[in-house]
Amino acid sequence: MSTTFDGRVALITGGSRGIGAAIARRLAEAGATVAINYRSNAGAADELVEELRAHGHRAEAFGGDVTDPARIADVVARVVEEFGALHLLASNAGIEHFAPLADITLADFENVFRTNVGGQLFAVQAAAAVMPPGSRIVLTSSVSARIAVHRHTLYAASKAAVSAMALNLAPELAEAGIAINAVAPGGTATDMAAENGADYVHPALAGVEPQQVTRSMNALGRLARPDEIADAVAFLLSQNASYITGSTLDVAGGWMR
């Protein structure tokens, strides 16, 4: 198996922290030039760029909020201007949301869907317009798209939409020689997971520590490390996945419900 990305330029949305940062490290280690997109945390993005450059990799940070299609188109244009091409897109930027049905507002709906669905759709639109044949895209869904978690409706619906996008864009992008897939991570040890409180613990389990509930829901009994998700993304972005498009790959430790 060869997973070299020599000569390939990769854009990772939400690449400054968590899973996105792990993807950036993984692709850079395998030879890719990496463009790290972030929303507001320029410090984290710059720190990662410095780390990668210190290891001899080519990397640059590109600020831009994916909820604004014009901003993400600008990020793609700047990447091509800086590095000459774009071959790989890891569309990873996303936000979490928990709320009981009665508390969900139109603003919540717009924020979650503009980020988790629109942010990925318009990133693909901008990237596909400049990608040469042989390019590859990975979206970020979630195991939440196919399981029930207490008060997680809006987030789960947005992630189900992501898998539907990967499936439906596959034939259209195949005409341009571009493959598109999604990963569906389970609970992964990042800032996002750390910020999850007791919101998702079912009332019948009141008092049980939230992360204990997460651990109990998968066969491996633990959260994923970000690099374990990054390995799956790297596989789907590589030529080893040449006959895979339109799929969603669970990376969820054997989620049991």
Question: Which residues bind to ligand NDP, rule: CB under 6 A?
Answer: 13-14, 16-20, 37-41, 44, 65-67, 92-95, 115, 119, 140, 142, 185, 187-188, 190-193
Do the beta carbons of residue 160 and residue 215 sit within 8 Å? no
> In the bound complex, what is the minimum distance in angstroms from residue 139's beta carbon to ligand NDP?
9
Specify the residue, 39 or 136, whose C-beta has the smaller distance to ligand NDP: 39
Residue 246 near residue 166, CB atoms below 8 Å: yes
Catalytic residue check, 144: no
Helix axes 153-174, 106-113, angle to 10 degrees: 30
For this structure, is 38 an active site residue?
Answer: no
Give CA–CA dist 197/211, Å, rounded.
9
For residue 48, the one-letter residue type is: L
Q: Which is closer to ligand NDP, CB of 14 or CB of 253?
A: 14
Q: How far is the CB of 51 from ligand NDP (least distance, A)?
A: 15
Q: How many CA atoms lie within 13 A of 216 on its CB side?
A: 8
Residue 142 known to be catalytic: yes
What gap in Å lies between CA 252 and CA 186, rounded to an integer?
4
CB of 239 to ligand NDP, least distance (A): 24
Catalytic residue list contains 200? no
Q: Which is nearer to ligand NDP, 29 or 47 (CB)?
A: 47
Which residues belong to the active site?
Answer: 141-142, 155, 159
